[in-house]
Amino acid sequence: MKKVMMMTLALALAIGCQRVPLSGRKQLLLVPNSELLPLSFSNYRGVLDTSRVIRSGNDAQMIQRVGNRLRTAMESYLRANNFADRLEGFQWEFTLIQSPQVNAWCMPGGKVAFYTGILPYTQNEAGVATVMGHEISHAIAEHGNERMSESLIASNLLQGGQLALGAVAQSRPQQTSAMLLQAAGAVLPIAYQVGRALPHSRKQELEADKLGLIFMAMAGYNPNEAVGFWTRMARAGSGQKPPEFLSTHPSDSRRIRDIQNQIPDAMKYYRQTARR
């Protein structure tokens, strides 16, 4: 049983290994878009059906304008660098939703939702491009697929670990055996979350920052504006966040520091765009 499980995992790792555009990081993608995207599109439609969607006005036009500029820049880069397969099945949509939530997101397949509650923090088109570039980068980098794939692998590994521990426990007294199994059931999932899932989520966030910064620069937006946006967000959320090691997102200070370090590289793309 364990041998078959390990062979299955090895095959999955060999087949599903890909590289993220721009960052070059290796990632595991096991869920085909033919399964993932229909679910994404259905969920997106469900959100819109239960939300107050803003179809007209300056803000809605700005969301469309920024989204289309980013889309054009991203698609141009991906096609020119042999990543066109990342766009397979994408059906871009940029929607403004009336809500006090300070939020924006992009589902797999290019379905973007932007909430009016975040507009006071973006302040201008470059701020909107900062947020949207970050969120779209999650979709381009297929972070959702990667999380699902890693969860599948983790589930198999946890199951294998529990089976192995169960075999060991059989040779122990009944009370000791029960304690071992109970402890494993409590500790292993927590160890996975703190030791792998949360750090990996933070890595994805920083990667989306990096990709988003470059894509907004390619679209003609000054990447220096990103620092101002994230500084405003940090001030708004001061004192409300858990320690970084217990969070899905990096600390504000780390995020801003990393963005500042990446701006010189992003500015190269911005200057190239400005010269056209």
Q: Which residues pair with 131 in a beta bridge?
A: none
Residue 19 pairs in a beta bridge with 26
Contact 36, 108 (CB under 8 A): yes
Report how far apart the first and last C-alpha atoms of the chain are (Å, whole number): 60
CB contact at 8 A, 198 and 246: yes
Q: Is 150 a catalytic residue?
A: no
Q: Which three-class secondary structure state does DSSP give residue 34?
A: helix
**Three-class SS state of 92:** coil
17 forms bridges with which residues in the sheet?
28
- Here the tokens at position 276 are 């056209």
Q: Which of 135, 150, 207, 225 is catalytic?
A: 135
Residue 110: both structure tokens together: 């290019």
Catalytic residue ranges:
135
